Amino acid sequence: MDKPVPGRRHFLISTAVAAGAGVAGSLGAKVHDGELGAPPRTYKGGVPWTEGLADQPPGISGTDFKFFTPAERVFIEAAVSRLIPNDEVGPGAVEANVPFFLDRQLAGPFGRGDHYYLGGPWPKGAPEQGYQSRFSPAQMYRAAIAAIDKYAHANFNGADFAKLSDDDRDKLLKGMESGSIQLEDGVDAKTFFAMLLQNTKEGYFSDPIYGGNKDMAAWKMIGFPGAHYDYREWVTRHGEPVPFPPVGFKGRPGWNGES
C-alpha cells in the first residue's frame, strides 16, 4: 500500500484537461446521451462548467415529410385516426399532427434504433422477453405497413387498409393487438401494434417541439399544464382548479402580445 499522497501541485481549472489517455477533450463540444462515442475526458481540480453550454432539446424544423412515402402516409393517417379519433372532446391523432411527429421520429435516431440492441441471433422468444425483432423501428414500420396492406388485400376484397371502413380498420387493429392476425415478411403483428400505439400516444402528448400535440390541444383536453416547474403555491390548495393554460418549451401563443 502506498502512503497517503500529499496534495499534488494542482491548478484550479474550470474546464476539462487532457491527461493519461493523451487525448485532448475538445472543450465546449456537446456531449450527448451518455453514450461511448464522445471524446474521453479527464476532469480534475473543479467542476468543468462552461458558459452557455446547455443541452437543449433537439426539436425539429420544417414541415415536410422525410420518412413516409405518400402511400405510407395515407396508411398512417388511416391507422392513427382510429387509435385516437377526433370529436368535440378533443383532437384526434391526425388533428394533433401525430403523423408528422411519427415521420420525424422515424427519420431520426429513434427510427434508426439508436437505443435498441439489434444484434443476432433473433429467435422468437417468450412475450416476457420483449422486443426480439431484427428490425429497427423505421424498418419495422416500413415492413409492417406493407404487410398490413397485403393482409387487407387478401382478406377485405382487395382494398388497401386506408380504404376500409372504420369498423373494418378497427377489426384489423384489434386482431393485431390481440395477436390473432398473422402478418407476413417477418412482421410480428402484436409487436408492431404495441409500437404504433405507444408512438401515437407519444406524438399526441409530448411537447409540441417534436411536431405533434398541435396547439397543445391534447394537454388542454386532459388539463395538463405542460412544462411548468413551480407549483409550490398550489401544494396545499387541495382540490382547487389550477388555472394555468398549458405552456411548452417554446412558451405559448400570446406571450409576445400576438395570439
Partner 1 sequence: MATTLKPVDAVIVGFGWTGAIMAQQLADAGLEVLALERGPWRDTSTDFATGFAQDELRYMWRHHLFQNVSDDTLTVRNNTSQTALPMRHLGSFLLGTGVGSGGVHWNGQIWRFLPSDFLTKSHNEQRYGKQAVTDYDLTVQDWGVTYEELEPFYNQFDVLCGTSGKAGNLNGTIQPGGNPFEGARSAEYPTPPMPQTYGPTLFGKAATELGRHPFPHPTGNLSQPYVNNFGAQLGACTYCGFCEKFGCGNYSKASPQTTLLPYVMAKPNFTLRTETEVLKVELSPDRKHATGVTYVNSAGEEFFQPASIVILSSYILQNVRLLLLSGIGTPYDPQTGQGVVGKNYAYQTMSSVNVFFDDKLINPFIGAGALATVVDDFNGDNFDHSGLGFIGGAYIAGMITGGRPIEMIYTPQGTPAWGMAWKHAAAKNYLRSFSLSVHGSCMSHRGNYLDLDPTYRDIHGRPMLRMTFDFTDNEHKMSDYLTDRAAEIAKAMNPREIKLNRRVGSWSVVPYQTTHNTGGAIMGDSPASSVVNKYLQSWDVSNVFSMGAGAFPQNAGYNPTGTVAALAYYSAQAIVQQYLKNPGPLVQA
| Minimum CB distance to partner 1 smaller for 70 or for 229 | 229
* Stretch of 63-71, 141-149, 182-190, 197-205 lying at the interface with partner 1 (CB under 8 A): 197-205
Q: Which residues contact 88 (CB under 8 A, 6 or more apart)?
A: none
> Could you give the CA distance from residue 210 to residue 201 in angstroms, rounded to a whole number?
13
Task: Using CB under 8 A, pick the residue from 72, 111, 206, 214 that binds partner 1.
Answer: 206
Task: Using CB under 8 A, pick the residue from 27, 45, 184, 253 that binds partner 1.
Answer: 45
Positions 126 through 145 that interact with partner 1 (CB under 8 A): 126-133
- Grid cell listed for 2: 502506498
- The burial class, CB within 10 Å (0-12 / 13-18 / 19+), for 98 is buried
- Grid cell listed for 89: 372532446
Q: Does 125 bind partner 1 (CB under 8 A)?
A: yes
Distance of CA 100 to the CA centre of its chain: 12
252 three-class SS: coil
Q: How far is the CB of 158 from partner 1 (least distance, A)?
A: 26
208 three-class SS: helix
As beta bridge partners, residue 248 has 251
Q: Does 243 bind partner 1 (CB under 8 A)?
A: no
Positions 171 through 190 that interact with partner 1 (CB under 8 A): 173, 177
Task: Using CB under 8 A, pick the residue from 76, 78, 84, 94 that binds partner 1.
Answer: 84
| Minimum CB distance to partner 1 smaller for 42 or for 155 | 42
> Could you give the CA distance from residue 220 to residue 227 in angstroms, rounded to a whole number?
13
Angle between helices 98-107 and 189-205 (to 10 degrees): 110
- Taking alpha carbons only, the member of 90, 48, 96, 98 closest to residue 73 is 98
Task: Using CB under 8 A, pick the residue from 43, 154, 165, 182 that binds partner 1.
Answer: 43
Q: Does 63 bind partner 1 (CB under 8 A)?
A: no
Q: How far is the CB of 130 from partner 1 (least distance, A)?
A: 4
Task: Using CB under 8 A, pick the residue from 62, 70, 119, 158 that binds partner 1.
Answer: 119
* Stretch of 64-72, 143-151, 155-163, 193-201 lying at the interface with partner 1 (CB under 8 A): 193-201
Q: Does 4 bind partner 1 (CB under 8 A)?
A: yes
Q: How far is the CB of 29 from partner 1 (least distance, A)?
A: 11
Q: Which residues contact 251 (CB under 8 A, 6 or more apart)?
A: none
Rounded to the nearest 5 degrees, what angle is found at the Cα of 27, between the Cα atoms of 22 and 28? 155
Q: Does 70 bind partner 1 (CB under 8 A)?
A: no
Task: Using CB under 8 A, pick the residue from 242, 245, 253, 255 that binds partner 1.
Answer: 242
Task: Using CB under 8 A, pick the residue from 67, 68, 161, 219 that binds partner 1.
Answer: 219
> Could you give the CA distance from residue 224 to residue 207 in angstroms, rounded to a whole number?
11
Q: Does 61 bind partner 1 (CB under 8 A)?
A: no
